Amino acid sequence: MSTGNTPEAVIFDIGNVLIGWQPERFYDRLVGPETRRRLFETVDLHAMNERIDRGADFHATVEETAAAHPEFAPLIRLWRERWLELTGPVIRPSVALQRALRAAGVPVFALSNFGIGSFEIAESHYGFLADFDRRFISGHLGVTKPDPRIYAVVEEESGLPPERLLFIDDRADNIAAARARGWQALHFTDPAASPAALAELLTGAGLVGPEVAAAALAATGATGEESA
Strand partners, 185: 167
For the chain (228 residues), the mean pLDDT of every run of 10, in chain order, is 77 98 97 98 98 98 98 98 97 96 97 98 96 98 98 98 98 98 97 93 95 88 39
Is 4 inside any structural domain? no
**pLDDT tens digits for range 105-131:** 999 999 999 999 999 999 999 999 999
The DSSP bridge partners found for residue 223 are none
**Partners of residue 19 on adjacent β-strands:** 15, 90
pLDDT at residue 4, as a whole number: 61
Alpha carbons 31 and 115: distance in angstroms, whole number: 25
Together in a domain, 174 and 142: yes
In a domain, 228, yes or no: no
Whether residue 113 is contained in a domain is answered as yes
In a domain, 225, yes or no: no
**Cα–Cα distances in Å, from 37 out to 34, 49, 78?**
5, 17, 16
Q: Which pTM does this prediction carry?
A: 0.93
- List, for residues 141-156, the tens digit of each pLDDT value: 999 999 999 999 999 9
Residues 51 and 100 in one domain: no
110 and 190 fall within a common domain: yes
Asked whether residue 201 falls in the same domain as residue 211, the answer is: yes
**Together in a domain, 101 and 187:** yes
CATH number for position 183: 3.40.50.1000
Are residues 62 and 14 both part of a single domain? no
What pLDDT is stored for residue 227 in this prediction?
A: 40
How many domains, the chain?
2
Final residue of a structural domain among 86, 101, 125? 86
Cis status of the peptide bond prior to 210, with omega within 30 of 0: no
Residues 55 and 93 in one domain: no
Q: Which residue type is seen at 4?
A: G
Q: How far apart are CA 54 and CA 141, in angstroms?
A: 7
Residues 6+ apart with CB under 8 A from 26: 78, 82, 85, 86
Q: What is the pLDDT of residue 219?
A: 79
> What pLDDT, on a 0 to 100 scale, did the predictor assign at position 220?
61
Domain that holds residue 47: 22-86
Q: Is residue 80 part of a domain?
A: yes
pLDDT value at residue 228 = 39
Q: How far is CA 173 from CA 73, 97, 131, in A?
A: 31, 24, 26
